[in-house]
């Protein structure tokens, strides 16, 4: 007869590991998160075991234990040894440090485990008879030998174990080397944050958060903004820990009882105790989940944060409509073009999670919209096309769910996002054909819109459609084809502007005026056409009226800078040095505003200042 069945041992190890983790955690917020994990898995402890990576460990342990049934000293003494093994094995064998400090040597590792057991609460029982230690070694050493003989198995079991062991032998993984090279920049980032924002968060904590953020973001300024976004969460967590709470006292009591019952082997009672604790503390569970959300955000782990947000919503509301209302609010607060990247990643993960169970088509459309928008915003600011490919996939999935004539406005919105995601990929990849492949989706959206009243949605599709022609023109080397593409963009923008004026949409008018000005300015420069340049300047003036400097400084400066460049091109054609001098002053002012606001547009326009200076010199020099 085997010492234990897999199912029984799995339940035992699962509960013991969770309880032990809770008792040992020094950070109270980590302990609260662990209790939340335990509370949601108490009824399915096999899942806890699988998550810990110990399932194959348990299977191998049972095999070795069966082999050890031939151990000498049969009878009650051996039965007692089996019972003691069952009691101490999970604690001993779940500790990867024993293996790393022993440099993965089975006999040495077993010695360290025995020493640890003797120093533990089980020490008195374990040392009562020599046979108990002998039996433990007879099972453990072959088990470790089997594990260590299979690198793939060990890597699956404890990935961190191999990294720790390699480091002990002086072998540094590539990721670790990159981290060390990044240390100086991270320290500068943290110190700059200290100067910008007085915070109670210790520098070590800020460094740890910066290490999470920095590898995902290439731009230093964005990394600093992301770090500012999470520092308040860290400060809040520290304040909560220092203040303490009734919930924490309740948790401490539960942890103590769980540990006591587990140590006695009273597994069923411990499981029931955990269930009962959760049922008695609904408000407490919400706080536990909030703590888990906060910790995952601090670790820059969007999926983990989204998982606990979803659990919190399920805990707060029982009716599906109420749950979706809360979910809608969570997504709306996170999906914005100016939102931190972390919050956009959380929104994308939260929308994906909700789509797995949501059945109402209207709600699914809303979730697909949030998913598409969050990925598009991320794609716009991150290098590469990963997020844009995700947005394209999400929009194709959303469109596949539509029935003929159902939710036409939503269908248009998804067609527009699909076309934009494809066009943006083409721009990043410098592939004209990829951008052209977006045309049919813009055309499909416009076809759908012809069945609907005029709206801002039609203006949005037209301006994006025109932008795709402009994007191809930038990749086109042939001057005639470049001009033809810009002429097409210009006519599409004239249509968009006419509709925006007809439906009296001030913001849409401002954007269309700006885009039309850009198309005309580029055409004027390519064709040396004074008329196009003057018309561009006219449209920039109208756009500036809708972008007040005080309320929208960056947008105002961007438009002003483009207009300055159009004036400079016009000055070159008219050979007018005074106009060029005015253009220089206008561009310099715009760049200063953008730099003061730390906007990336500043570096797009700054290189044109020397060109205008040279132009002024040339125009001012008499023949």
Q: How far apart are CA 520 and CA 538, in angstroms?
A: 10
- Amino acid 178: pLDDT: 38
Q: Report how far residue 371's alpha carbon sits from residue 373's, in angstroms, rounded to the nearest whole number.
A: 6
**pLDDT of the residue at 447:** 94
Contact 192, 186 (CB under 8 A): no
For residue 561, the tally of other CB atoms under 10 A from its CB is 25
> What is this structure's pTM?
0.60
As a whole number of angstroms, the distance between CA 279 and CA 474 comes to 62
Nearest to 119 by CA among 96, 161, 73, 88: 88
Residue 110 CA to residue 557 CA, distance in Å, equals 69
Provide the 10 A C-beta neighbour count for residue 431: 14
Please give the Cα distance from 352 to 341 (Å, whole number).
17
Alpha helical stretches, state H, 382-438: 386-400, 408-429, 432-436
CA distance 279 to 268: 17
Distance of CA 603 to the CA centre of its chain: 27
Count the Cβ atoms, other than its own, within 10 Å of residue 124.
Answer: 9
Q: What value does the mean pLDDT of the chain take? A: 75
Q: What's the rounded Cα separation, in Å, for the pair 106 and 157?
A: 16
Residue with tokens 């703590």: 291
Give 246's contacts (C-beta < 8 A, 6+ positions apart).
none
pLDDT at 20: 41
Identify the segments of the chain with pLDDT beneath 50.
1-29, 31-54, 58, 69, 72, 96, 100, 151-181, 239, 241-246
The token pair that represents 461 in the structure block: 């599709």
Residue 545: helix, strand or coil by DSSP?
Answer: helix
- Cβ density class 353-381: b for 16+ within 10 Å, e for less: bbbeebeeeebbbbbbbbbbbbbbbbbee
Q: Which residues contact 485 (CB under 8 A, 6 or more apart)?
A: 469, 470, 472, 473, 476
Q: Which two tokens stand for residue 15?
A: 């509960």
Contact criterion met (CB below 8 Å) for 139 and 64: yes
Residue closest to 49 by CA, chosen among 93, 5, 85, 13: 13
pLDDT at 469: 96
Residue 430: the pLDDT is 92
> Taking a C-beta distance cutoff of 8 angstroms, is the pair 563, 540 a contact?
yes
**pLDDT for the residue numbered 340:** 80
Alpha helices in 45-105 (DSSP H): 45-52, 55-67, 76-93, 96-101
Contact partners, residue 288, CB within 8 Å, separation at least 6: 32, 33, 35, 36, 39, 247, 251
Rounded to whole angstroms, the Cα distance separating 604 from 599 reads 10
Q: Which residues contact 238 (CB under 8 A, 6 or more apart)?
A: 200, 201
pLDDT, residue 15, reads 41
Q: Give the chain's length.
A: 623
- Asked if residue 38 lies in contact with residue 22, where contact means CB atoms within 8 angstroms, the answer is yes
Rounded Cα distance between 454 and 106, Å, is 75
């Amino acid at each position: 007869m085997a010492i234990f069945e897999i199912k029984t041992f799995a339940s035992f190890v699962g509960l013991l590991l969770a309880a032990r983790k809770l008792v040992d955690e020094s950070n109270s917020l980590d302990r609260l998160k662990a209790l939340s994990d335990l509370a949601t898995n108490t009824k399915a402890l096999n899942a806890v075991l699988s998550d810990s990576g110990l399932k194959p460990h348990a299977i191998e342990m049972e095999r070795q234990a069966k082999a050890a049934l031939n151990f000498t000293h049969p009878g009650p003494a051996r039965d007692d040894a089996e019972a003691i093994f069952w009691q101490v094995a999970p604690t001993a064998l779940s500790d990867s440090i024993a293996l790393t400090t022993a440099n993965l040597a089975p006999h040495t590792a077993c010695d360290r485990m025995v020493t640890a057991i003797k120093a533990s609460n089980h020490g008195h029982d374990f040392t009562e008879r020599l046979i108990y230690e002998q039996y433990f070694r007879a099972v453990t050493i072959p088990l470790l030998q089997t594990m260590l003989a299979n690198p793939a198995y060990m890597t699956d079991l404890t990935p961190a174990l191999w990294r720790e062991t390699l480091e002990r032998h002086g072998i540094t993984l590539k990721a670790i080397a990159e981290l060390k090279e990044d240390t100086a920049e991270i320290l500068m980032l943290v110190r700059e944050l200290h100067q910008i924002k007085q915070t109670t968060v210790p520098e070590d904590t800020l460094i740890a958060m910066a290490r999470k953020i920095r590898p995902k973001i290439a731009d230093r300024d964005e990394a600093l903004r992301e770090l500012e976004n999470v520092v308040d969460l860290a400060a809040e967590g520290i304040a909560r820990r220092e203040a303490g709470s009734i919930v924490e006292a309740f948790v401490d009591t539960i942890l103590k009882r769980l540990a006591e019952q587990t140590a006695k082997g009273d597994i069923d009672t411990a499981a029931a105790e955990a269930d009962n604790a959760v049922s008695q503390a609904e408000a407490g569970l919400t706080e536990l989940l909030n703590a888990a959300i906060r910790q995952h955000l601090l670790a820059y782990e969007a999926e983990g944060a989204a998982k606990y947000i979803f659990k919190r919503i399920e805990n707060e509301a029982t009716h599906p409509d109420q749950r979706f209302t809360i979910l809608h609010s969570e997504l709306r607060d996170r999906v914005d073009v100016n939102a931190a990247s972390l919050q956009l990643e959380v929104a994308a993960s939260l929308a994906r999670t909700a789509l797995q169970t949501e059945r109402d088509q209207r709600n699914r459309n809303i979730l697909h919209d949030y998913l598409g928008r969050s990925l598009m915003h991320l794609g716009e600011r991150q290098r590469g096309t990963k997020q844009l490919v995700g947005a394209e996939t999400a929009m194709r999935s959303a469109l596949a769910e539509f029935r003929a004539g159902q939710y036409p406005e939503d269908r248009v919105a998804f067609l527009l996002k699909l076309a934009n995601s494809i066009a943006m990929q083409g721009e990043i990849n410098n592939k004209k054909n990829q951008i052209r492949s977006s045309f049919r989706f813009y055309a499909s959206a416009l076809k759908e819109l012809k069945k609907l009243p005029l709206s801002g949605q039609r203006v949005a599709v037209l301006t994006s459609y025109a932008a795709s022609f402009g994007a191809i023109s930038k990749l086109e080397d042939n001057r005639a084809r470049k001009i033809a593409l810009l002429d097409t963009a210009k006519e599409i923008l004239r249509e968009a502007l006419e509709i925006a004026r007809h439906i009296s949409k001030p913001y849409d008018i401002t954007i269309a005026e700006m885009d039309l000005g850009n198309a005309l300015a580029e055409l004027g420069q390519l064709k040396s056409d004074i008329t196009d340049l003057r018309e561009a300047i006219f449209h920039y003036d109208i756009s500036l009226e809708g972008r007040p400097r005080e309320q929208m400084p960056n947008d105002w400066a961007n438009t002003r800078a483009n207009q300055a460049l159009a004036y400079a091109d016009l000055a070159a054609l008219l050979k007018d040095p005074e106009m060029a001098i005015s253009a220089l002053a206008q561009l310099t002012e715009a760049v200063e505003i953008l730099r003061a606001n730390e906007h990336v547009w500043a570096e797009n326009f700054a290189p044109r200042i020397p060109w205008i200076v040279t132009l002024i010199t040339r125009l001012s020099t008499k023949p």
